[in-house]
Structures are given as structure tokens and as C-alpha cells.
Structure 1
């Protein structure tokens, strides 16, 4: 029986790198995979999924309107898809997470989702909330705060490096806009 997995972490924990390694492992065995990422994150340019260490791959891009089950199931029927890998899974809608669960349950395709657990305020993203609630397997990837503790928070910073405490939940950015911190240093930076 296929499962729905959620690999979650703060920024800079290696989520995209881990996804790309899993994809490589399947393809190395001659298996077909499908990679997906959020259309809202266009930083990779021609490489839809790109890790900080330089690994990259093409991927389908989902929007809030994408029916994930309808987009994937027919392709699986035409030739078996061994695994579906979703980067930036925090941007999935609740309905899309349920569509991916249906893919695992009814089409017997493992679905591996990778994403942030929380936003820059410490709140759950909608996609992450549903994944935390219904995924068969939850795997936390580790990032490190500057103090050496496990980083579990994503601090948004402005161009001068000061904490941003208000604004839209989604603002695409990398190390120039976000810093992974432990809860203690996250709270101190926002005080």
C-alpha cells in the first residue's frame, strides 16, 4: 500500500536536496517519477526545483487551481508512475493534499511532499496543516540555528537584516529574506 509522506523543516534544512536525491534513487532503478513544485516560487527559472547546493530538475508546476489527482492519475494509467515528489508542499491547498492522499490510496502511488511547517510568524501553512493531519508518515529534516540548536522557525528579514513581523504569509525568498532559527532566537529577534 502506497503512503503519503510529509518531509518538513525550516528553511535551509535540505528539503529540495533530499527530494532530488529520492528522485535520483527511483530513476536510477529505471522507475518513472513525477516532480511537482509551486508555480508561485519561480526562483529556479528554467530549473523548477533547485537546491542551495546546486542540484536541480525540471518539474510540473501547480497553482491553487490544479487538480493534482486529475493531473497525475491518467499519466499513471498510461505507464506506471513509481513515485510523485512535491516540493514547496506548504503551498498546496487543503483540497490538493486530499487529492494526493487519494492518489496514494486509490492509485497506489507513493507521494512524497517536502515543505515548510510554519511561516515567518510561527503559524502553519494551509498545505502543511493538512499534511501534518493526514500524512501516513511525518519526517522532520533538521536545520541548525546560529547557536547550534535545532532551527524550527523561519524569521523573515528586511533588506537591512531586521525582523519582519507583519505582512503576507507568502513572500518568496531565500537567504536574503529568511533566516532559520531556534524558537528562542526567533522570539528574541521579533521582540
Structure 2
């Protein structure tokens, strides 16, 4: 039976790499599928991984209707056995429901990939609906690491190098040098993965390096 599977993890945990590998494995067995993504770091209509892999994809917008996409292709004689859906946290709740309907009524496997929470530690609407509807939720086995070496569990946003916990939920920013401490211009948005302790204390890699802190000597008012 077809399934709706949600692969979740923080940034830098290999979601897009696994999505590309999943597509390769199914295509190698003669199955035909579609790849979707939204707000990929490499631009529109592409899915890319930090390992340098990239393939064309269908760019998802708020107006995308997955049910219509599959019906249109099948009506024209095409096959759609599975969907690879990356950056699913940016999908709408209605779009996640469309994906579930494709699984149940058309037998299309859906493999969705995304992060669950935003920089405020709040669930993305798309991820929340996916958690509610998925047949199976898989946590990615590749663990992203905080600057202190602990497992990273939270996504942090920085503006001009300073961590922030307020603002719009979706803002495109630099994620290419997470775990390091790149200099940021005033107003420049960036993202970094942190463990829960350092996220709560707002101690980013840049702040830790500036203060020459070790994981065991943290300011209590951070």
C-alpha cells in the first residue's frame, strides 16, 4: 500500500541529500516520480544538498495543487508512482492534505522532507499537519551538531550576527556556513543549528567565539 512518510530533522541533517537518494533508488527500479521543493537554498525549481548535488524540481507556491498536478499528468498518459516533497515545512496545511489524499485515493507514495520547528521553536503549519497525517514519521539519523559538540535540536536565526526570537516565520537567509561564525553585515539574516541549552541562552557560535567560552562556562543571563 502507498504511504505518506515524513522525514524530519533540523537544518544540516541531510534531508535534501536523502530526498535525492530516495528519488534515485525508486527511479532505478523503473518507478516514475515527481520532485517538488520550495525556497531551496540554491534558488527556485531546484532541490540541492550541501554535498553539492542538485536536480531540477517543480517549485511549490501557495497556489500549487498536488492533486491537480498528478491528475493532469496521468490524464495525458504519464505515470506518477511517487512524489518527493522537499522543504515541506513551507507547504500549506491544505497542500499536505492533498498529499494524503493522493496516497489514499490514487496509491501514490509520498516521501516528504522538512524541519519541524522554526527559529522560535514553534511548529511550521506544514510540518504540524504532516505530523498529524503521516503514516510514518522518521527522524533523520544524521545528527547535526551545535557549536559545543552536542546534538543540535533547534534552528536559530541571526540578524547581523545577533540571535533573534521574533519576526516573520519564513525569511530566506544564509545557511551555508552553519557551525562556523561568518561575519554578517547589519541586517543580514543567517541561520544556525544549536542544542536546546544554547538556543535558550542565545549563545551562537559567533558569540561563543567572541567570548572565548567553553560549553561549561556559560553566562547565566545569556
* 1: CA distance, partners of 2:123 / 2:50: 24
* 1: CA distance, partners of 2:17 / 2:136: 19
Structure with bigger RCO (C-alpha 8 Å, 6+ apart): 1
TM norm structure 2: 0.79
For residues 42-71 of structure 1, the C-alpha deviation after alignment (integer angstroms, 9 at most, x for no partner) is 542376111111011101111111111111
1:35 aligns with 2:35: yes
The equivalent residue for 2:191 is: 178
The equivalent residue for 1:116 is: 115
Long gaps (5+) in structure 1: none
Deviation at 1:151, TM superposition (A): 1.3
Secondary structure (helix, strand or coil) at the match of 1:179 reads strand
Secondary structure (helix, strand or coil) at the match of 1:157 reads strand
Long gaps (5+) in structure 2: 178-189, 204-221
- Structure 1 stretches (4+) deviating beyond 4 angstroms? none
Deviation at 1:175, TM superposition (A): 3.6
The equivalent residue for 1:155 is: 156
* 1: CA distance, partners of 2:44 / 2:8: 25
Deviation at 1:145, TM superposition (A): 1.8
* 1: CA distance, partners of 2:153 / 2:133: 21
The equivalent residue for 2:219 is: none
The alignment covers a number of residue pairs equal to 188
CA RMSD of aligned residues (A): 1.7
Deviation at 1:76, TM superposition (A): 3.9
Deviation at 1:147, TM superposition (A): 2.6
Question: How do 1:1-191 and structure 2 match up within 5 A?
Answer: 1-38=1-38, 41=39, 43-45=41-43, 48-76=46-74, 78-141=77-140, 142-159=143-160, 161-173=161-173, 174-175=175-176, 177-189=190-202, 191=222
For the pair shown, the structure with the greater C-alpha radius of gyration is 2
